[in-house]
Amino acid sequence: MNGARILVLEDEPIIGFALEDILAAEGAHSFLATTLDEAETAVAGQAFDCGILDVNVHGGKSYGVAARLREDGIPFLFATGYGDTAHPPEFADVPTLSKPYSPGQVRRAIDAIA
């Protein structure tokens, strides 16, 4: 992950900051978006190596952001506190990181999609 630019979409600040700390410890640079609009704007205006997307963001789903990342050829994974939730068919192949997660789980999940 050294030097990787990672989009983090997470609406819970404590979880988002903790994930940023995990990524920084691995040498990655993260951009934290706390709303779907922030994430869409970030994807449109910045280059990312991969993304970690919370599924439920302030009552909305992150599948639109996921579609944009896929269109741009940027690998991503979902993160959710709801376990290995069923995603729409077009995202059934996307790995899901279950919360709470450890630094090792994050590292392995990123390595698997990169």
> 5-88+96-101 domain in CATH 1.20.1600.10?
no
Q: Are 46 and 69 in contact (CB under 8 A)?
A: no
Residues in CB range of 60: below 8 A, 6 or more apart: 36
| pLDDT for residue 85 | 64
Delimit the domains of the chain by residue range.
5-88+96-101
Q: For the segment 52-73, what is each residue's pLDDT rounded down to a tens digit? A: 999 999 999 999 999 999 999 9
Nearest-CA neighbor of 75 among 51, 100, 105, 99? 51
Q: Residue 83 above 70 pLDDT?
A: no
SS3 content of the chain, % helix, strand, coil (to 5): 40, 25, 35
| Average pLDDT for 104-108 | 95
Q: pLDDT-derived band of residue 84, with 50, 70 and 90 as boundaries?
A: low
